[in-house]
Each structure stands twice: as C-alpha cells, then as structure tokens.
Structure 1
Amino acid sequence: MKLASFIVDNRKTIGFALEDGKVVKLTDAFEAAGLNQTDAPDCMLTLIEAGSSLQSSIDSAAKAAAESNVKRYLKDEVSWLQPVLRPSKIVAVACNNKAITNRAKFYTDNPMFFNKAPSSLIGHEQPIEIRPDYGLTHPEAELAVVIGRRCKSLSLEEAMGAVFGYTIMNDITSVTLKSDDTIVFPNPGVTPPPPGWEHGEKHLTYHARSKSTDTFGPCGPWIVTKDEIPNPDALSVKVYMGDELCTEDNTGNLNYSVARVLHHLTKYMTLEAGDIVHIGTASKGKYQLRELDFQKWDGPCSIEIEGIGRLSNPIKRIEI
C-alpha cells in the first residue's frame, strides 16, 4: 500500500494514495471499513510506531479505500507533505555507487554515513529554494528506507525486518557550500601515513550547510510498504530536469545493499521508528551530477524509482 501525509480541507492528515492517482483520508477509510474513526492515527509516525497492533485495521481500511464509495480527493486537491513530518534522524550513505567509488584512490570496506537535518525536508510538489550564494547545487536521487521500529545491532538476517517501507529522497547538495566548508591539510596528520599518502593531502569536509539547508530534502510522495518491494536492491532510478531524462541508474549498482547498510549502521547508532536512511546516489546517465546545476536548469526536478512512483519539485530561485 501507499501511505501519504498531506493537507486537505486545511488540515494535516494521512491516508492512502490509490492507483488511480486519487487520495483517501485514513479516517474516511476507517469509517468505510466499519472501524472507529477515533482509532485512526493522525500522523505517519503514530501509524508506524503502532506496528503490528494496528496492522489488521490498516489492511481493512486500505481495502475499503480501494473498493468502497469512500470520499476520494484528486491529487490537485491536496497539498503533499513529506511522508514522515519530523523523523528523529535522517542518515545518508556516502559514496555508495560504483560509478563514484571506481574513481576513488582509497575506499573503505564498510558503508560511510552522514546526517541530514530533518528540517531540510519538503514534500512532493513543494519548491526547492535556490539562492545565488548556494552556488553550484545539484540533485541526488536516492532510495530511502523508512524504519519500522526501534533497533540496535541488527544482524544481516534481521536487518530487513526493521524496515517499514520505502520512499524517494532527493539529497540536494551544494558543491559550493561544501567547498566553502572544507579544510585542507598538507598530509594526513598521522604517523606513519597510510600507503600512498606520503605526499598527499587531507580534506576535512563538513556537510551541515551543503546537505541540510532548508528545502534540500525533498521526500515522498508517499511510503510504499515493504511487502510491495521484495527486492530494494534492484530498482531502476531516473532523474528528469523538466521533460529531459538526465540520469538512468539502478540500485543494483550501489556498493552496499539495504541489509548491509542497516547492519553496519546499527552497530553504532540506534534507529527509531520513522527514521529515514537514504541508501546512495544514482549517478549513471547523460549528465554528470555537477552538470545538473539548479542555478542553470529550470525545473521541475523529478525522480522516479521503480515500484514507488515519481517525486517532483519545482525550482524557485530567490534573490537576496
């Protein structure tokens, strides 16, 4: 099923996105299924945290939404929100694509991570705001995993059991802000230096501005529950600027699978229900990432991931 957060009739709510493109409020679906409306969660995080205790009711409501005469809203009648309004954390996997790491001088044996601020999130069709001082700013299309329960130290075999579902993340990145927040040292600063670093440089880069600036986290348009995506490690990923197909890749080209990422991450960090882990950037296609500069391209910027749908956001340039 597809679960979405949105505003309709001037109220924030959650509900089902149907195959015909229409939307049904969860409370209306509960009523159509003969369930008590007051038992329907009013936000996505509450629904996720309820876990199996609410599963049969959600299944009945989803069936009623698809088959009954319940009130359906056209997609233009709702304002889309990010599926999880404020997850406790967003964790990203750095450089998790063979097209990138094949060019690296050194690469690690395990996934590397950074955090992205939840305040950067916006929903489907909400504008990406771009200021001149952001400089070169480009999209990064990524499969995002929504965590279903509190978890720590997951084994490889347990990892997929912690997944609630999947959505799309556009991990927008300002190359200029990243460069501005980089310190360069003449050598690694360790004795003895790693092989090959004898005459190298060490770059310390901090991603707070380049990754977490407001509106740099388009996410959505909904969550597809994990039962509908049996293999997240073999999904096509496409990026469009306007109507032009610019990137065409597959999650099979990532270095680390979803299970491997969650296994390694939870060795060090507790994940909570509703947390988002985006898995790695789609990179193959007609253009390199840095050529898709939001300072130059008109939107919308759209990302399609097989089995999930299409996340689309206009680009709004702001003068300061």
Structure 2
Amino acid sequence: MKLVTFIHNGLARVGVVRDDGVVDSQDDSQIPATMIDFLAAGDSAMVRMRRLVESAQPKFVLAEVKLVAPVPRPGKYLAIALNYADHIAETGKDKPEYPSFFTKQSTCVIGHGEAIHMPNVSNKLDYEGELAFVIGKRCRHVPVDKAHRVIAGFTVANDVSVRDFQARSPTMMIGKSFDTGGPLGPWLVTSDEIADPHNLNIKTWVDDELRQNSNTQHMIFNCYEMVAYLSQAMTLEPGDVISTGTPSGVGVKMQPRGYLKVGQTVRIEIEGIGTLSNTVVAEPDESVIF
C-alpha cells in the first residue's frame, strides 16, 4: 500500500493511494486518523486498512488533495552520515567503523510539492537524496535478523543541508534542521511491497540535471543493521523516521560548487517507491512570533 497523510477541506487524515485516487481511512471509524496513531495501532489497523482498500472506491481524486509528509511530525528523525562508499570517496574521509547518526529536528519536515526555503542566513543550501524508512512497532534490542519486522515502510527523503551551519558543529544538527530542510514523501510504501530495500535505484535531479545516480546496494550499513544498532541505545517508536544516507553527487563536492539556487527544483526518484519534488524559494524575511 501507498500510505499517505493528506489534507482535504482543511482536515488531515491517513489514506491510501490507489490508481489516481485516495481511499479515505475515515470511511472506517476504527482506523486512527493520524499516521503515528495508525502505525501504533499495529497489525489490526493495517489489516482493516487493507480490507478497506480492497472493498472501497477511492473517495478523492489524488490531484484534488494536498499530500503532506507521510509522518508530518515524527517523534524522532535520525539520519546516518557517510553510508555510501562513493560519497565517502568524494568527501575524502575514512570509512566509518560504526554507524554515525545525527538528529534532524522534526520541525524541518515538509511534504512532496512544498517549498524548501533558501535561508536568510546562508546561501550554502544543498540536497541529499536518500531512502528513508519508518518504524512501525515499538522496539528495543532488535537483532539484525528480526529488524525487518519493525519497519512499517519506506519513503523518499531529501536530507537538505545548510553546509556552513553543518560544519560549525560536530553534531551537524543545526545545519541539518533548518525549517523546510526535511522533505519526505510522497507516500509511505509498506514493507511488503519492497522485496529488497537494499537493491533500489536512487536518482536526484536539480532541474533537468542528473546529480546523483546510484543504488541502495552500495550502503555500508543496511537498514536492518541500522535498526539493530540504534535499538541498542534507545526505544524506537511507531512513526520514527530513519534516513539511510546519500550517494555521491552532492552539490558541495562539485567543481564549481553546485549549491541550490532560488527557483531550482530538486527531484528525487527511488525505484519502487516514487518521486519527491520540491522547489527552492526565498525564505520569508519577516520575524514571526506565534
């Protein structure tokens, strides 16, 4: 299934994309309305959703609803650094002995079609096309051979990076967490539809220029190893997002630098999942106090 969080007439809820339409989860009152609550409800909610998709016609035309990030506000958004051999080579750094994770703050998350802001404080805005997965079961100390059981599904991520702010701190957190710096989408493809997440073509375009072209088989640490490593330290919960690293071709390593510019569109396509597209706009320059 292609699970989505969508907005229609100002109301957000979970649905499933089928053909060119969206099946509305709220046609079954027993299905929770938010993605995190839906995933937390476990296998029973997933079974009800599958039955609904099989029996109901799409309630909305896909083009008539607004897709937001599949998990609009994840409890945790963790991303791994230096996880593709070719990206390690272009950075000139050593292959890591252990997985190295950083946090992207959940306020950075946006969906397919939403705008990425060019920060007022920097013009060193960069893209990183990545496969991301979403945790479906609360878990701790998960062995590698059972890690597939706790992954609800896979989506496309853009680990947008403000490179000068990233370089100022060894944790990289601020440079990875600017508002609008976490595009996810367009949907969450359930794990049963991805035969092997470690053999998917991944490509990133800036406008019509192909910048990244690789395959997830080139990861140093695979998705299941990431789950096992992280769950040694922390409880992973439904809706947590884990992004799996980027291949070579990032703007900061191009000559001359290939930083993003206002008006450019980043398009990331992952085989079997879909395409995530976001256009860069100038950040609104007014101060905002809510």
- Would you say the 8 A contact 2:87–2:249 is kept in 1? no
1:121-270 paired onto structure 2 within 5 Å: 121-179=109-167, 181-182=168-169, 205-270=170-235
Q: Which amino acid aligns with 1:136?
A: K
Q: Is the CA contact (8 Å cut-off) linking 1:4 and 1:16 kept in structure 2?
A: yes
Matched, 1:13 2:8: no
Gaps of 5+ in 1: 29-36, 183-204
Mapped to 1, the partners of 2:62 and 2:162 lie a distance apart of 35
Does structure 1 retain, via aligned residues, the 8 Å contact 2:251–2:258?
Answer: no
* Distance in 2 of aligned mates of 1:52 and 1:232: 21
Distance 1:286 1:106 in 2: 20
* Cα pair distance change 1:27/1:225, threshold 3 Å: same
Other structure's SS at 2:174 match: helix
2: CA distance, partners of 1:264 / 1:47? 26
1:206 offset after TM fit, Å? 3.4
Task: Please state how far the C-alpha of 1:80 moved relative to its aligned partner.
Answer: 1.6
List 4+ stretches of structure 1 deviating above 6 A: none
Give the count of matched residue pairs. 283
Structure 1 letter corresponding to 2:41: A
For structure 2, list consecutive stretches of 5 or more residues without a partner in the other structure: 286-290
TM-score under structure 2 normalisation?
0.91
Query: AA paired with 1:174?
Result: V
- Decide which of 299, 302, 305 is 2:267's aligned counterpart: 302
Q: Is the 8 A contact 1:242 1:298 kept in 2?
A: no
By how many angstroms is 1:308 displaced? 0.6
Per the TM alignment, residue 167 of structure 1 is displaced from its structure 2 partner at its CA by 0.7
SS at match of 2:16: strand
Instruction: Find the structure with the greater CA-based Rg.
Output: 1
Residue aligned with 1:281, SS: coil
Deviation at 1:282, TM superposition (A): 2.4
1:55 correspondence with 2:46: yes
Residue 156 of structure 1: how far off its partner (Å): 1.1
Tell me which amino acid in the other structure corresponds to 1:292: G
| 2:135–2:236 contact (8 Å) kept in structure 1 | yes
**Structure 1 vs Structure 2: percent identity of aligned residues?**
33
Q: 1:43 to 1:267 in 2, by over 3 A?
A: same
CA contact (8 A) 2:250 2:258 kept: no
Question: Which amino acid is the alignment partner of residue 249 of structure 1?
Answer: S
SS at 1:38 equivalent = coil
Paired AA for residue 221 in structure 2: Y
What's the counterpart of residue 27 of structure 1? 26
CA distance in 2, matches of 1:138, 1:289: 11
3-state SS, counterpart of residue 142 of structure 1: strand
Q: Which residue identity lines up with residue 131 of structure 2 in the other structure?
A: L
1:118 aligned onto 2:106: yes
Distance in 1 (CA, whole Å) between partners of 2:166 and 2:132 is 22
TM-score, normalised relative to structure 1? 0.83
Q: 1:318–1:63: structure 2 CA closer, same or farther, 3 Å change rule?
A: same
Q: Output aligned runs, 1:71-110, within 5 Å.
A: 71-75=59-63, 77-102=64-89, 104-110=92-98
| Greater mean deviation of Cα atoms: 113-122 or 279-288 | 279-288
* Structure 1 residue 13 displacement after superposition: 1.4
| Alignment correspondent of 1:185 | none
